[in-house]
Every structure is written in structure tokens, then in C-alpha cells.
Amino acid sequence: MRHATEKAAPNPFDVRAMWNMNGAGLGYGEKAYRAWFDGATRMQTEATTFWNGRVAKDMAALTMIGQCKDPAQAFEAQMRYAREAMADYYEEGQRMMGLMRDVASESGVPMAKALAD
């Protein structure tokens, strides 16, 4: 039987003991986890919104191409579609990088400064 003055054997499954972390250290981890999970939710919402809008634009472009009367009109419609799609994907990529930069800075991760440069 163990007495109140004896130390309990360390739990091998306790991550705090394994990494020698205290409450303050766990607070930083919690902040980072929360920031990354919240950021992942924001990024997923942004990606879903973008994808829904992009599919609607794709369908409109296909309808427009299907209504062309000659090959010149079809080619012009295809080029307009390609230009607009690439611009949309570029802008979305910039938004996603901005979200990642924001999440990194909110989490207190040191690479946030590197992403901002």
C-alpha cells in the first residue's frame, strides 16, 4: 500500500511526463491546436464556397459553348473560360495562403513571420 508521502510511479502514457511539460507548456499547445482546427474549418468553408461557385461558372461556360454558331465563337468562349478559370484559381490560391498565414500567426508558431515575408 502506498502512503500519502510517496510519489506515484510515472504514467508511461502521460504525454506531459514524456515531454516534461507543465501547465504553461500545455497552454501553448492548446492555443496552437485551437488555431489550426479553427483555421482548417475556415479553409474548408472557403474551399467549398469556391468550388460551388466554380462549378456554376463551369456549367455556364459549357452552356455558352454549346450555343455557339461557328468555331470562331466556340474558340472565343473557350479562351474566355480558360482565362477566367485560371484567374479564379490564382485568386483562390492567394486567399488560401492568406488564411494559412493568419492561422500560423494566431497559433503563435514561429514560421508565421516567415510566411508573412
pLDDT of the residue at 114: 44
User: What three-state secondary structure class fits 7?
Assistant: coil
CA distance 67 to 23: 66
Amino acid sitting at position 56: A
Sequential pLDDT tens for the chain (117 residues)? 556 566 666 666 666 555 565 666 556 667 777 888 888 899 999 999 999 999 999 999 999 999 999 999 999 999 999 999 999 999 999 999 999 888 888 777 555 454 454
Q: Where are the domains of the chain?
A: 19-116
pLDDT of the residue at 70: 94
Provide DSSP, 33-45.
HHHHHHHHHHHHH
